[in-house]
C-alpha cells in the first residue's frame, strides 16, 4: 500500500498548516464551472466549512473504509437496481458515494418554495389538459404540443375533482450562474423516494458523527406527511383508507424500492393479478376474499395499467381500472395520463402558464428550451444548431440527447434533416455546464456533474417537499447525461437546518420511524403463493444439501469396507429419488461421479442443483420481499455467497464446508421463521410449504431405503443421516440401525421433528386455521385431506412386518406412494383454492 493512503488529505498539501482550502488544491485544479464545495478561488463555500474541515482530516483509508461499510450495508439490505440490458436478468448493487451533497438552509428555503409552487402548478395544468383545455384556447400552449405528446392519453371525461399528481419528482441542476433549474418533472411514476430513504439510513449510520454535527434536516417528517397525504386521498374519506402499492413485479428495475417503500409506509405491495374490478370498483384478492381498495400507489406506467383501455403487449394490467378511476371510485397516485408533463417542450411555455394559472411569477425556472414545432423557434435552431442541445420533445422511445457540435458532418446533416421533417418531435435546449460535486472514486476525490431529484407530496391542504432527495453523479468524468441505467453513482442529499433540527419523531423512537409500519391483515393471494413456494424451496434446498453431504462424507476417510458397502448401497438408493438426477448414480467411475456432483454444487442451469434452487428460492423471496424482515433478506444474500465453491477441481473438504455452511444458514432461516415471524396467514403458507416438501422427501427416502434394507441394513445409517435423526436413534436404541425401529422413528414418532407424523400433525393444524369461505363446497377440505393422511399413517402396523421378507419392502413402498399422492392432492387443493389466479409460478 502506498504511504500516502495513511496520511490525512491535508498533509498531502505542501504546507501542513495551510488554510483548509490548500488540501483541496488538487481537487480544485480539476474543477471547471460551478463546484458545489469550492468557490472559484478554491476556498470552501460557507456551508461546506464544517464537513470540508472534517473530510480534510480523513486519510484515503478512512474514505475507503466508509465506502466499504456503505457497500456492505447496501448489500445486506438487498438494495439493487435491476438492469434492463442485463441479459442474465440479474440485479446490480446500488452504488452510494461516501460524500453527501450539501444544500444550505437559505437555498433550500427558495428551492422548496419553488418546488411546492411547481407541484401546485403541474396539478392545475393536468386538470386543464384533461378538462376544459383553457390553456389551449387562451393561446398559452400550441394545441399540437399536446396532441403530438404520446403521454397525453385520450381518456374522455374524468370525474371533476380528480387528483392527478399527488407525488412528483423534480430533477434539478445548477448551471454556471449558480441557480438551480428544473431539468425534468417526473409526474408519472416518480422513482427514487425509496432509494432516498435507504441512502439516508445508510449515510446517517456510516457518517453518524458528521450527520449529527452538521445539523441535517430529517426526512422522517416528509414521510409522515406523505402517508397522511395519501390517506387523505381516499375517495370515501374513510378513517381506514385501504391503500396498496401496485408494482409490475420483481423484474422491474426499481422493484427494490417498491418493496422497501411499501413496507416502510405499511401498504401491501401488489401485482396486477392481485387486483380485480367488480362493478367499477377495485378490489384486492386476499385469502379471505375480495377487499375494497381506495387508493393505488401506481409504480406501473399508465399504458400498462389496463389492457382493456390501452394497447398492451404484456400480461400486466387490471382490466376496468381506468373505468373505475374515471368514475372516481379509486384514486391513482399518480393519475392516468399524468406522464404528459414529462415533455421537455413544456419548459418553453411554463413561465406564462404560471402567471395565468397562479397569478405569480414562476420561481424555479426550467432549462431554457425552444420547441421546434413553432416555426420561428425552428428557424432560430436551424440558424445556429451548434449552440443547442437537441433532444426528443416527448418521453418514451428514443430519448437521445445530441450535441450537434460533437457529430461528424454526415451525422449532423442527417440529424438536422430529421428535425426539419418532424420539427414537433424536437426541442433545443441551452447548453448548460452542470455543477460538480466532490465524489470519492478511484481512490481520490473527483469533481463530478450532479443532478438532484427531490419530491413533493400533496393532497387536500397537505403539501410537503422532501428536504433532501436522490442525487446522482456521472459514472465517468466527461459524462453529461446522468442515469442510473448507465451506471451513475447516487449520493445522499443533506439539507442543512437554519435553527434546531426538527427531530421529534426521530428522537422519540428512532426505530419506530425507520422501521416499517405493521401491514394490515389481508394477505394477497399472490404473496401467499410465493411464501408457500419459498417454504417448499427452502426445504428442498436443505434436503438436497443433506443428501449431497451424506455422499461426499463417504468419499473421505480411510475407505473402510463398511464405507465402500454403504456407498454402493447409496448409489442404488439415490438413483430412486427424484431429488437428484436419476442418471447420476449410475455413473461408473468415482471421477465421473465427482465431476457430476460438482455440477450440482455449482451450475445454476442444472435442474435441481444447489445454485438453481437458490435462484428459485430468491425469486420467490423477492416476490414476497415486503413480507420478509431485513435479517431474513440478509440471510438470503449470504446464502448465495456461502454457496460459492472455490474454482478449480473439486476438493471434497471444500464441498463439505460449503454444504455445512448452507445447512447452517437454512437452519438460521427456519429459526427466524419460528422466532421472528408473526403468526399470520403468510407465515402459515410458508410453514405448509415446508412441511409438505419435508413429508414428500421423507416418503421417498423411506420407500427407496426399505426396498434395499430388506437385503442389507447398512443403508439405514445414511438414511438416518439424511433425515438428521442419527443422534435421536442412538439415544433410543444404542445399537446398529435396524429397519423397524428406524421406520418407527422416521414415520410414526410424533416427537421427532423430522418424522412424517410430525409433518402431518403440523399440516392438520395449519390447514384447520386457513381462512374458510363457509358457503364454499371446499370448506374444510384441506383439513379433511390432512386428517385422512394421518389416519392412513396410523394404519401402519410395524409389528406385523417381517424384516427379511421381500414383500415388506413392497408394502411400505405402496403405502409411501399412496401417502405421496394424497399430499400432492392437498397441494393442488391449496393451489387451486387459495391462489388459482397466480399464473407465473416456477417449477
Partner 1 sequence: MHYKILHRTSYHYEFPVTVGHYTARLEPRNLPVQACPWHRLVMRPEPWVRSFRTDAFGNHVEYFEFEGAHQELEVISRSLVKVSASCPPFPSATPAWETIREEVLGTGISPVTAAGAYAFGSPLIVPSAIFRDYAASSFPAGRPVLEGVCDLNQRLHQDFIFDPTATDAATPIIEAFEKRRGVCQDLAQIMIACLRSHGLPARYVSGYLETLPPPGQARLVGADASHVWVSVFCGGNHGWIDADPTNNLLPSERHVTIAWGRDFSDVVPLRGITLGAGKQRLTVAVDVEPVNEE
Binding stretches for partner 1 (CB under 8 A): 133, 136-139, 141-144, 147-148, 150, 154-157, 276-280, 307-311, 317, 319-320, 323, 326, 373-375, 421-422, 424, 837
> Least distance in Å: CB of 426 to partner 1?
13
Q: For residue 759, what is its C-alpha cell?
A: 409433518
Q: What is the DSSP letter of 379?
A: H
User: Across the strands, what pairs with 462?
Assistant: 459
- Pairwise CA distance, residues 706 & 283, whole Å: 52
Burial of residue 218 (CB within 10 Å: 0-12, 13-18, 19+) is buried
- Angle, in degrees to the nearest 10, between helices 681-709 and 561-575: 120
- Pairwise CA distance, residues 119 & 595, whole Å: 62
> What burial letters (b/e) apply to 290-324, b meaning 16+ CB within 10 Å?
ebebbbbbbbbbbbbbbbebbebeeebbbbbbbbb
> Least distance in Å: CB of 164 to partner 1?
16
**Residue closer to partner 1 (CB basis): 281 or 543:** 281
**Residue closer to partner 1 (CB basis): 111 or 125:** 125
Give backbone dihedrals phi and psi of 647, rounded to 5 degrees, phi first. -65, 170
> What burial letters (b/e) apply to 729-759, b meaning 16+ CB within 10 Å?
beeeeeeebebebbbbbbbbbeebebbbbbb
**Residue closer to partner 1 (CB basis): 323 or 596:** 323
Q: What is the DSSP letter of 398?
A: -
> Least distance in Å: CB of 255 to partner 1?
25
> Least distance in Å: CB of 235 to partner 1?
17
> Least distance in Å: CB of 731 to partner 1?
53
> Least distance in Å: CB of 148 to partner 1?
4
**Residue closer to partner 1 (CB basis): 343 or 493:** 343
All residues at 6 or more sequence positions from 144 whose CB lies less than 8 Å from its CB, including other chains? 373, 424
All residues at 6 or more sequence positions from 697 whose CB lies less than 8 Å from its CB, including other chains? 539, 540, 543, 579
Residue with grid cell 410453514, as numbered in its chain: 687
> Least distance in Å: CB of 252 to partner 1?
22
Q: In what order do the strands lie in the sheet with 331-333?
A: 269-270, 243-246, 295-298, 331-333
> Least distance in Å: CB of 85 to partner 1?
23
> Least distance in Å: CB of 437 to partner 1?
39
> Least distance in Å: CB of 321 to partner 1?
9
- Pairwise CA distance, residues 741 & 798, whole Å: 9
Q: For residue 104, what is its C-alpha cell?
A: 444550505
Half-sphere exposure of 565 (CA within 13 A, CB side): 12
**Residue closer to partner 1 (CB basis): 86 or 422:** 422
List the one residue out of 336, 242, 328 whose CA is nearest residue 284: 242
Complete DSSP assignment for 222-269: HHHHHHHHHHHT-TT--TT--EEEE---TTSTTHHHHHHHHHHHT--E
Q: What is the DSSP letter of 755?
A: S
**Residue closer to partner 1 (CB basis): 422 or 460:** 422
> Least distance in Å: CB of 276 to partner 1?
7
**Residue closer to partner 1 (CB basis): 42 or 319:** 319
- Pairwise CA distance, residues 24 & 26, whole Å: 5
Q: What is the DSSP letter of 176?
A: T
**Residue closer to partner 1 (CB basis): 279 or 675:** 279
Q: For residue 486, what is its C-alpha cell?
A: 448507465
> Least distance in Å: CB of 392 to partner 1?
12
**Residue closer to partner 1 (CB basis): 112 or 307:** 307
**Residue closer to partner 1 (CB basis): 509 or 832:** 832
- Separation of first and last alpha carbons in the chain: 50
> Least distance in Å: CB of 379 to partner 1?
13
**Residue closer to partner 1 (CB basis): 17 or 154:** 154
**Residue closer to partner 1 (CB basis): 167 or 246:** 246
Residue with grid cell 414428500, as numbered in its chain: 696
**Residue closer to partner 1 (CB basis): 43 or 344:** 344
**Residue closer to partner 1 (CB basis): 280 or 638:** 280
**Residue closer to partner 1 (CB basis): 146 or 437:** 146
> Least distance in Å: CB of 154 to partner 1?
4
Give backbone dihedrals phi and psi of 469, rounded to 5 degrees, phi first. 130, -170
CB 47 within 8 A of CB 102: yes
> Least distance in Å: CB of 327 to partner 1?
8
C-alpha distances (whole Å) from 476 to each of 313, 338, 402, 442, 680 are: 36, 33, 18, 11, 48
> Least distance in Å: CB of 129 to partner 1?
12
Give backbone dihedrals phi and psi of 320, rounded to 5 degrees, phi first. 95, -5
**Residue closer to partner 1 (CB basis): 219 or 348:** 348
User: Across the strands, what pairs with 173?
Assistant: 181
Evaluate the omega torsion of the peptide bond into residue 309 and state whether it is cis, within 30 degrees of 0.
Answer: no
Amino acid at each position: 500500500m502506498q504511504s500516502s493512503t495513511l496520511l490525512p488529505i491535508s498533509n498531502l498539501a505542501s504546507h501542513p498548516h495551510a488554510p483548509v482550502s490548500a488540501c483541496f488544491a488538487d481537487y480544485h485544479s480539476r474543477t471547471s464551472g460551478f463546484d458545489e464545495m469550492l468557490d472559484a478561488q478554491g476556498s470552501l463555500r460557507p456551508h461546506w466549512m464544517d464537513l470540508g474541515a472534517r473530510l480534510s482530516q480523513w486519510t484515503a483509508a478512512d474514505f475507503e473504509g466508509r465506502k466499504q461499510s456503505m457497500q456492505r450495508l447496501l448489500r445486506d439490505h438487498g438494495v439493487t437496481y435491476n438492469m434492463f440490458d442485463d441479459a442474465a436478468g440479474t440485479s446490480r448493487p446500488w452504488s452510494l458515494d461516501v460524500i453527501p451533497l450539501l444544500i444550505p438552509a437559505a437555498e433550500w428555503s427558495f428551492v422548496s418554495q419553488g418546488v411546492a409552487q411547481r407541484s401546485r402548478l403541474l396539478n392545475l395544468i393536468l386538470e386543464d389538459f384533461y378538462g376544459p383545455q383553457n390553456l389551449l384556447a387562451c393561446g398559452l400552449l400550441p394545441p399540437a404540443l399536446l396532441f403530438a405528446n404520446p403521454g397525453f392519453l385520450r381518456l374522455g371525461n374524468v370525474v371533476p375533482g380528480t387528483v392527478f399528481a399527488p407525488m412528483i419528482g423534480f430533477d434539478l441542476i445548477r448551471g454556471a450562474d449558480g441557480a438551480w433549474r428544473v431539468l425534468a418533472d417526473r409526474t408519472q411514476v416518480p422513482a427514487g423516494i425509496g432509494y432516498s430513504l435507504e441512502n439516508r439510513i445508510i449515510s446517517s449510520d456510516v457518517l453518524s458523527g458528521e450527520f449529527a454535527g452538521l445539523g441535517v434536516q430529517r426526512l422522517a417528517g416528509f414521510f409522515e406527511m406523505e402517508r397522511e397525504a395519501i390517506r387523505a386521498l381516499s375517495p370515501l374519506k374513510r378513517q381506514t383508507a385501504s391503500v396498496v402499492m401496485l408494482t409490475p413485479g420483481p423484474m422491474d428495475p426499481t422493484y427494490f424500492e417498491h418493496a422497501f417503500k411499501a413496507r416502510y409506509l405499511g401498504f401491501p405491495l401488489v401485482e396486477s393479478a392481485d387486483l380485480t374490478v367488480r362493478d367499477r370498483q377495485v378490489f384486492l384478492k386476499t385469502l379471505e376474499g375480495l377487499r375494497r381498495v381506495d387508493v393505488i400507489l401506481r409504480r406501473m406506467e399508465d399504458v400498462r395499467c389496463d389492457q382493456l383501455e390501452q394497447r398492451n403487449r404484456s400480461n400486466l394490467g387490471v382490466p376496468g381500472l381506468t373505468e373505475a378511476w374515471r368514475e372516481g371510485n379509486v384514486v391513482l397516485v399518480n393519475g392516468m395520463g399524468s406522464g404528459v408533463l414529462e415533455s421537455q417542450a413544456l419548459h418553453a411555455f411554463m413561465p406564462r402558464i404560471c402567471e395565468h394559472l397562479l397569478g405569480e411569477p414562476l420561481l424555479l425556472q426550467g432549462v431554457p428550451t425552444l420547441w421546434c414545432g413553432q416555426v420561428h423557434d425552428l428557424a432560430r435552431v436551424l440558424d445556429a444548431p451548434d449552440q443547442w442541445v437537441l433532444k426528443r420533445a416527448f418521453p418514451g422511445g428514443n430519448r437521445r440527447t445530441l450535441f450537434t457540435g460533437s457529430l461528424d458532418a454526415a451525422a449532423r446533416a442527417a440529424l438536422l434533416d430529421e428535425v426539419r421533417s418532424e420539427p414537433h418531435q424536437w426541442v433545443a435546449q441551452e447548453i448548460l455546464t452542470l455543477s460538480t460535486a466532490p465524489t470519492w472514486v478511484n481512490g481520490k476525490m473527483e469533481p463530478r456533474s450532479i443532478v438532484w431529484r427531490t419530491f413533493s407530496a400533496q393532497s387536500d391542504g397537505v403539501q410537503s417537499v422532501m428536504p433532501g432527495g436522490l442525487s446522482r453523479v456521472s459514472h465517468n468524468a466527461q459524462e453529461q447525461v446522468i442515469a442510473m441505467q448507465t451506471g451513475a453513482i447516487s449520493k445522499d442529499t443533506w439539507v442543512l437546518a437554519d435553527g434546531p433540527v426538527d427531530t421529534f419523531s426521530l428522537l422519540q423512537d428512532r426505530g419506530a420511524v425507520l422501521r416499517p409500519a405493521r401491514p394490515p391483515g389481508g394477505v394477497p393471494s399472490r404473496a401467499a403463493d410465493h411464501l408457500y413456494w419459498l417454504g417448499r424451496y427452502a426445504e428442498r434446498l436443505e434436503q438436497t444439501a443433506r443428501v449431497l453431504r451424506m455422499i461426499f462424507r463417504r468419499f473421505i476417510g480411510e475407505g473402510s469396507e463398511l464405507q465402500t458397502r454403504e456407498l454402493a448401497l447409496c448409489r442404488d438408493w439415490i438413483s430412486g429419488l427424484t431429488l437428484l438426477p436419476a442418471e447420476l448414480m449410475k455413473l461408473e467411475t468415482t471421477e465421473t461421479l465427482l465431476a457430476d456432483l460438482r455440477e450440482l454444487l455449482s451450475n445454476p442451469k442444472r435442474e435441481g442443483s444447489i445454485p438453481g434452487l437458490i435462484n428459485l428460492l430468491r425469486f420467490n423471496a423477492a416476490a414476497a420481499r415486503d413480507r420478509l424482515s431485513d435479517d431474513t433478506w440478509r440471510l438470503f444474500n449470504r446464502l448465495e455467497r456461502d454457496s460459492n465453491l472455490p474454482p478449480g477441481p473439486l476438493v471434497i473438504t471444500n464441498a463439505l464446508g460449503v454444504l455445512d455452511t448452507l445447512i447452517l444458514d437454512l437452519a438460521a432461516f427456519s429459526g427466524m421463521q419460528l422466532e421472528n415471524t408473526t403468526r399470520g396467514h403468510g407465515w402459515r403458507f410458508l410453514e405448509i410449504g415446508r412441511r409438505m416438501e419435508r413429508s414428500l422427501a421423507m416418503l421417498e427416502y423411506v420407500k427407496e431405503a426399505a426396498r434395499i434394507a430388506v437385503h442389507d441394513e447398512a443403508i439405514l445409517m445414511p438414511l438416518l443421516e439424511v433425515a438428521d435423526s442419527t443422534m435421536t436413534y442412538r439415544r433410543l436404541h444404542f445399537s446398529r440401525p435396524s429397519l423397524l425401529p428406524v421406520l418407527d422413528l422416521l414415520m410414526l414418532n410424533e416427537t421427532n421433528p423430522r418424522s412424517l407424523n410430525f409433518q402431518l400433525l403440523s399440516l392438520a393444524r395449519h390447514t384447520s386455521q386457513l381462512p374458510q369461505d363457509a358457503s364454499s363446497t371446499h370448506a374444510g377440505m384441506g383439513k379433511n385431506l390432512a386428517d385422512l393422511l394421518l389416519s392412513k399413517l396410523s394404519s401402519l402396523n410395524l409389528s406385523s412386518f417381517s424384516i427379511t421378507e421381500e414383500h415388506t419392502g413392497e408394502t411400505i413402498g405402496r403405502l409411501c406412494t399412496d401417502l405421496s399422492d394424497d399430499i400432492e392432492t392437498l397441494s393442488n387443493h391449496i393451489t387451486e383454492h387459495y391462489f388459482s389466479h397466480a399464473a407465473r409460478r416456477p417449477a
